[in-house]
Chains A and B, each alone.
Chain A
């Protein structure tokens, strides 16, 4: 059992890491140093709070502790430099207002998601700096070794400093494109936690962090309907998480899921958020995908014609072959597999390296009683499927065809 002080430190770690880090990195302009100092401040909190009691504002206490630590380290580095080169000492860090710390997490997330960083580095850096997930935890979530992940993070942090990536919310002319980049990173993070092949516990944690970040972003950008739309999309998918896998950990298709396992409070919250976003009258891909998820969340009452209509709208803003594939599935539900099959087959050139294309085609062929063609399509899907659970699912389908 953890005592009250340990609980307070753990809660601060979960709730304050991002804000403390965001403030300190803005002061010292050195991501590696900032990370060390914030980690030191959290380590110092437990004995200090046991001795003096938990501070009224843990985040402010941690920010001051990390700032002081950073100042000491910069001073010491300055002294060493003087000894070595007999040049003037390094400057003191910027003076800080003593008690008020504005929230700098928006600057932090835009910097972590800068297009000059590799996509996998953006995702990892966002998790590391904004959520306080450790390097080891992030490495586990992305199925790479801890040294590989540590190197990825250090490289990204050094590039931010060395290449002059600014620590700020981008100016108006860059904001739409950069916001889209931030939303993409958060959604990628969520999907990683929803559909990757690591174990379910790690995945649930990554998805949970993605939702917390999307909540923070929606609160920080209240005028951006797509940020609210992204949060709604995550919640409306998250609502079905418990029903996605059966007791043996096998995938369960949406139509076969136990409706009683869906989380009605998440569905209600997601739906309310989505309506709020749509009222702004600036629809975008996340709001439309959230609307599709909300329609699926109506279970047996799902209106497939409405889903086809929403995919048509989505195709206007996001004309991708994967969206066309999903639309074809909805068409199959409305007009039957014979109408949907040609829509799938015309995507062959673009999607024939994609297991979902083969799996969708296989399912339509099966429903049209074209068994031999369905079998070879399932076999092709099986070859390309990235996760073990999907391979087992496709294997069962293939076995059913006899």
Chain B
């Protein structure tokens, strides 16, 4: 079977070349970061059991969260519109309705206590820089601060939708959508772009987006990228480990640690796939059928060859 030997030689050289050009070359070019499974091991565990009712008072209280954040499920509107907020803080503070399900509880507690630390952006807010993180650290309401924070987290968890009701889109909007646009899903940093009847209304909306982006650019140093095609340009593993801790893959980046739970990270990635790889299910389906067709084609071509070559040998 000389032909099979030749085929084996061709296959081996092809596979060696493939290995060197793809897995090997990429392992040299790109730092490999293992997932930490969104454990946030550097943050202290919650030791207190929170009470949602007390938490509500703290969250809603004068000078507390609702001074800057909207909580739409609780009927609490935003004190300022998105553009004015971004111009004041650099970025629009998130609506707190679903943060209890999207973010890890330990992370939320650490964030309330010391935002720059939990977000891993302390390098941006060194004493020399003279800058402070726009979100003020919670200094306590007079009681046991850890208990108070646990109460606030419990309240935020109590108002959030249940995990199984959290859609990929909601997870994306809460976790990423105030900094990142997603053109292919019609998403801007100030929300979904509506369909306008009048050109001037559309232009007015676009100007708001530009104003917001200008403020955001000043705050972040660079406009955060549109994420429409990130599922193809970065891939699932990179996105997941980057979201978990941006500093691992891009040291010094202004992007904060997002603090999502593992389940929410999966939802975010699903939403990215819904934008940049919409036909993945169709691809699998069609792929199977084409493979079956082509194997049958090869079988018939083999039978044809045999019937013709039996006279030639």
Instruction: Say if A and B assemble together.
Output: no
Residue positions of B touching A, CB distance < 8 A: none
